[in-house]
Amino acid sequence: MKNLALIVGLALALGGCSSPETKEKPKAHPVDETSVPKAVLDAKVKAYPSAKTVSWTQQGDEYEIKFEMDGRKMAAEYKADGSVLETAEVITLDAAPDAVKKGIASSKYGAMQLLALKKAQKAGKDEAYKAMFKNTDGGGFKVTFDKAGAIAKEKPVSKDKLEKWQNEHKGA
């Protein structure tokens, strides 16, 4: 009986000591187009033949391109095999669907300054509208609206992070 208690105690102790392996995503970093896999470059050229590349970023085995095409600011994220993860386009509020405009106006964010709005499409998902708002204290909110204008996700942004975001997106 003492042996059973000892075994159970050891199993519990060892089980309690082991921690689940957490897999953190590597940080995104800029890369030169020459380091982007051919499958990604081919997928980009096929989808956006007249795109003028602004920048490439790599995060693990994912690649993001920011580009301009036909006067529009856009982005696309790809896996290393060339499959699309997400596409996005910067739009004006006027270009948003009426349901999204109404959703923004009737939300608690309607009175805040809209700094940016983009239409985003994740692979296999409905389109979403991602907005950055600035409030009166200098901080802000990242808010995602679904195509019906309902808030799908919201996250506060500190004043410091918002200022950094604004500096990174000047002229965007």
Domain containing residue 70: CATH number: 3.10.450.360
**52 with 123, same domain?**
no
**73 with 95, same domain?**
no
Tell me if 135 is assigned to some domain. yes
**80 with 95, same domain?**
no
Tell me if 6 is assigned to some domain. no
**65 with 118, same domain?**
no
The pLDDT value given to residue 26: 84
* CB within 8 Å of 70: residues ≥ 6 apart: 50
**127 with 64, same domain?**
no
Last residue of a domain, one of 49, 66, 87: 87
**98 with 122, same domain?**
yes
**66 with 81, same domain?**
yes
* Predicted TM-score of the model (pTM): 0.78
Last residue of a domain, one of 87, 108, 137: 87
* Residues with pLDDT less than 50, the chain: 1-20
Tell me if 18 is assigned to some domain. no
The pLDDT value given to residue 14: 35
Domain span at residue 171 reads 91-172
**118 with 65, same domain?**
no
The pLDDT value given to residue 17: 42
DSSP 44-104: HHHH-TT-EEEEEEEETTEEEEEEEETTEEEEEEEETTS-EEEEEEE--GGGS-HHHHHHH
**122 with 45, same domain?**
no
